[in-house]
Structure 1
Amino acid sequence: MSVEVVMPKLGMAMKEGTVSIWNKQVGDQVGKGEPIASVSSEKIEIDVESPAEGTLLEIAVPEGEGVPPGAVICYIGNPGEKMAPVNASVQTQEPKGDAESSVKEKPEMSKQVKTGGDRVKISPVARKMAEAGGINISEIQGTGPGGRITKEDVQESLKQSREQKAEEKERDKTALEPAEQAKEMKVSGIRKVIAGRMHDSLQQTAQLTMNMKVDVTELIALQKQTAKTVQNRYENKLTMTDFIARAVVLSLQQHPQMNSAYINETIHFFQHVHLGMAVAVDKGLVVPVIRHSEKCSLVELSRSIKTLAQKARVGQLSNEEMQGSTFTISNLGSYGVEHFTPILNPPESGILGVGAVYETPVFKGEELDKRSILPLSLTFDHRVLDGAPAAAFLQSVKQFLEEPVTMLL
């Protein structure tokens, strides 16, 4: 009997998962533990590994299609082996009835679909494949008993459809000038989620960005002075990002209007600071959340940032670790970017963009001194607060960073 491979549950809140890409095709050999497909939920994308060694007998869920957790997405076994029965827990469309009668009816599962005045005989698997591929079953010539449409008939129809589309696309490309030809990539998985969320953010909020420069010369000196003590006592290294996160948390406590969300024409003010830290990964951008950040010391906050960032880069974040943020920080300083316009992470009211530190001569009284400057960009929702309170929040962040000892008290 073949082995079922099911859609994993990526977090407690997951209702549907999508097959982003198949790494193997029907007939390919697979080893136990070998990645055979990538699946994604709203925020997470992971590889699905084969539970057994064998041949990929059938793909039940094509790329781009969503199914609930536990649904069978493919079968692994030996060529010609009988398919395992579909798990009853995912047959949400089957009517409830007498168990014995259901068993008796299974051999006669050929499903008949009305098309005009005729009825088309088709197996459930073939019907599902046709629906997923957008194939009109009334146009398929069945080769099974009594003209019944089999999965092989659908596969052949899909093959012909793909070939036809490929020919049409090739004709379209030859009609273009060479300079106009472009490589195409279907948007799916995390990239598709990000595209939708960012578009909705700009469409549904009143976003405004203000910039400010912060003198972090003393902060860098404090960071160097405490580096050895922090390493010896806590086995940790405090980064500029850690200090910025601490300054933001303290400022949010002073300016609760920024630690809020606009939901259904109501402003929700949060008692706790759940800080989102944007992390760039290979397939897009994820935002792990440090919950109850106001209860963390500077060292504890630093450890949480590093731990979640590492989990994000290796794809081990859970859905719960990426939900519930009340304010987000996005740092592009490592890329040499100074000022930029971060986009709100709905329904949050604010996001802080952090640029690269640069050195510049600054007058201190009559003296010209070399100072280290940190560019900050605050995007806020103008529906929630106006420019003055937003500027006051940014000013608080600036004061903490320019007087870093206050973050340690």
Structure 2
Amino acid sequence: MAVEVLMPKMGMAMKEGTVSHWNKQVGDLVSKGEVIASISSEKIEADLEAPADGVLLKIAVSEWEGVPPGTVIGYIGHPSEQIVEETAATATLEAAAPEAREELPAASTAMAPMAATPASSKEVKISPVARKLAEAAGLPLESLIGTGPAGRITKEDVEKAIADRETKQTVAPEDDQRAAVAGKETVEQLPVSGMRKVIASRMMASLRESAQLTITARADVTDLIAWQQKMNEVTQKEHDTKLTLTDLIAKATVLALQKHKQVNSAYLDERIHRYGHVHLGIAVALEQGLVVPVVRHAESVSLPDLSRRIKALAAQAREGTLGMEEMQGSTFSITNLGAYGIEFFTPVLNPPEAGILGVGAVQDTPVFVGEEVRRRSLLPLSLTFDHRVLDGAPAAEFLHTLRKYLEEPYRMLL
């Protein structure tokens, strides 16, 4: 009997999973434990392993199609094996009289042409991906012809309709040269699903539902960088970890948040929730999008432990092994674009947090120190905060305290 390949449930809050990519096609040999597809859900990307040895007999869910967890997305079995899909129609047929079952071929023949007729405007059978493509292209659903099972409109049906429409468009003679150039242009339409869909909705909701303002400052981290190098001689030997500039910024941020708790807050249900603990979110950039794993109770861990936790969570994020519980509950976040040479930027709040710190690239700059011009290392800082929770002055005071810790790093030990 064919083995069902199910959409896994990745996290308690998962409501829908998407097949990002099928690594195998129908007829390909697969081994138990071999990766056969990539699955995405909200902010989690994961590999799906084959549950058994055999051949991929059928792909039941197309790429970029979203389905609830537990849905059968494919079947694995022997090459000659028949797939038995239990449906209400099948159960009814089995219970019918032999005479009724003998009439099935004629009924099936009569129904076959219906798969090639335009869909009804009242009840359109169409896959979620096909619906999105059709709506984006402005195609009326009732004008589409479905070639899928029972007349279901597939992604391929919509793509064909778009191509046919473009072919029928006429070009005026004076636009021949322009058309020749346009004919060389290609546009790739990518469905918004999985991680990208969640990021898009959360960021739009963040901008729509909060009063965001960004202030900036530069911190002189010349002494901090020198201090980091000296500290690493000890931390590598005694704590088996190497401190990064991000680790030190995170520690300074936690200390500053403890002194300015109004920044470590959230606006929820017409109330300001001010937190005594610091669950620090550290943004990690992945190929599929941005994730923000959370270091819980960052205020209670030492600098070496904070460094280890940040590195461990970043590694899990890149390996795709983060759970939803490890990306929820942050009270303040840090996002760092310094590796890309960016200086100041405007980070968007990670709801429902009241603050997020953007870190830019360190710039070596000539600075007046008394009457002398010296080379100093300046770090750009961008603080976005929710103006519903705090005003510009307390936000500036937080940034001032943070700069103090970064410019006089010995304060972190006091």
Q: TM-score range by the shorter chain?
A: 0.7 to 0.9
Between the aligned partners of 1:35 and 1:293, the Cα distance in structure 2 is 36
Between the aligned partners of 2:146 and 2:182, the Cα distance in structure 1 is 37
Alignment partner of 1:335 is 2:332: no
- SS of equivalent residue, structure 1 residue 40: strand
Distance change >3 Å, CA 352–CA 106, structure 1 → 2: farther
Distance change >3 Å, CA 350–CA 139, structure 1 → 2: closer
Structure 1 residue runs of 5 or longer lacking an equivalent are: 95-101, 111-119, 123-128, 142-149
Distance change >3 Å, CA 219–CA 159, structure 1 → 2: closer
Alignment partner of 1:196 is 2:201: yes
Q: What corresponds to 1:168 in structure 2?
A: 165
TM-aligned CA deviation for residue 178 of structure 1: 4.2
Alignment partner of 1:285 is 2:290: yes
Alignment partner of 1:376 is 2:381: yes
Output the amino acid matched with 1:222.
Answer: W
Which 10-residue stretch deviates more, 60-69 or 5-14? 60-69
Identity %: 56
TM-aligned CA deviation for residue 262 of structure 1: 1.5
TM-aligned CA deviation for residue 165 of structure 1: 3.8
Alignment partner of 1:364 is 2:369: yes
Alignment partner of 1:307 is 2:312: yes
Deviations 1:362-395 (A, max 9, x none): 2222222221111100011111111001111111
- 8 A contact 1:298–1:408 mirrored in 2: no
TM-aligned CA deviation for residue 28 of structure 1: 4.0
Output the amino acid matched with 2:23.
Answer: N
Which 10-residue stretch deviates more, 158-167 or 261-270? 158-167
Output the amino acid matched with 1:262.
Answer: Y
Q: What corresponds to 2:138 in structure 1?
A: none
TM-aligned CA deviation for residue 195 of structure 1: 1.8
Deviations 1:206-257 (A, max 9, x none): 1111100101111111112222111111111111111100011111111111
Between the aligned partners of 2:48 and 2:401, the Cα distance in structure 1 is 46
Output the amino acid matched with 1:185.
Answer: L
Between the aligned partners of 1:349 and 1:364, the Cα distance in structure 2 is 36
Distance change >3 Å, CA 336–CA 161, structure 1 → 2: closer
Between the aligned partners of 1:183 and 1:158, the Cα distance in structure 2 is 14
Deviations 1:128-177 (A, max 9, x none): x95436698x9879xxxxxxxx94x6589876665444433566699672
Q: What corresponds to 1:264 in structure 2?
A: 269
Q: What corresponds to 1:147 in structure 2?
A: none
- SS of equivalent residue, structure 2 residue 384: strand
Distance change >3 Å, CA 173–CA 226, structure 1 → 2: farther
- 8 A contact 2:126–2:153 mirrored in 1: no
Output the amino acid matched with 2:308.
Answer: R
Between the aligned partners of 1:196 and 1:210, the Cα distance in structure 2 is 25
Q: How many residues are treated as equivalent by the alignment? A: 373
Q: What corresponds to 1:58 in structure 2?
A: 58
Q: What corresponds to 2:137 in structure 1?
A: none
Output the amino acid matched with 1:61.
Answer: V
Q: What corresponds to 1:126 in structure 2?
A: none
- SS of equivalent residue, structure 2 residue 192: coil
Distance change >3 Å, CA 74–CA 379, structure 1 → 2: same
- 8 A contact 2:64–2:191 mirrored in 1: no
Q: What corresponds to 2:136 in structure 1?
A: none
1:323 to 328, 342, 347: 328
Q: Which runs of 4+ in 1 moved over 4 A?
A: 102-106, 133-136, 138-141, 153-162, 169-176
Q: What corresponds to 2:357 in structure 1?
A: 352
Distance change >3 Å, CA 160–CA 66, structure 1 → 2: closer
TM-aligned CA deviation for residue 47 of structure 1: 1.9
Alignment partner of 1:72 is 2:72: yes
Between the aligned partners of 1:358 and 1:310, the Cα distance in structure 2 is 27
Structure 2 residue runs of 5 or longer lacking an equivalent are: 101-109, 113-123, 132-140, 172-178
- 8 A contact 2:286–2:318 mirrored in 1: yes
TM-aligned CA deviation for residue 203 of structure 1: 1.8
Between the aligned partners of 1:158 and 1:296, the Cα distance in structure 2 is 51
Distance change >3 Å, CA 121–CA 307, structure 1 → 2: same
Which 10-residue stretch deviates more, 6-15 or 316-325? 6-15
Which 10-residue stretch deviates more, 337-346 or 37-46? 37-46
Distance change >3 Å, CA 140–CA 252, structure 1 → 2: closer
TM-aligned CA deviation for residue 15 of structure 1: 2.8
- SS of equivalent residue, structure 1 residue 341: coil
Between the aligned partners of 1:317 and 1:266, the Cα distance in structure 2 is 31
Between the aligned partners of 1:28 and 1:288, the Cα distance in structure 2 is 37
- SS of equivalent residue, structure 1 residue 48: strand
Distance change >3 Å, CA 224–CA 267, structure 1 → 2: same
TM-aligned CA deviation for residue 7 of structure 1: 1.0
So what's the TM-score if we normalise by structure 1? 0.81
Q: What corresponds to 2:256 in structure 1?
A: 251
Output the amino acid matched with 2:318.
Answer: R
Between the aligned partners of 1:239 and 1:157, the Cα distance in structure 2 is 50
Distance change >3 Å, CA 77–CA 396, structure 1 → 2: same
Alignment partner of 1:23 is 2:20: no
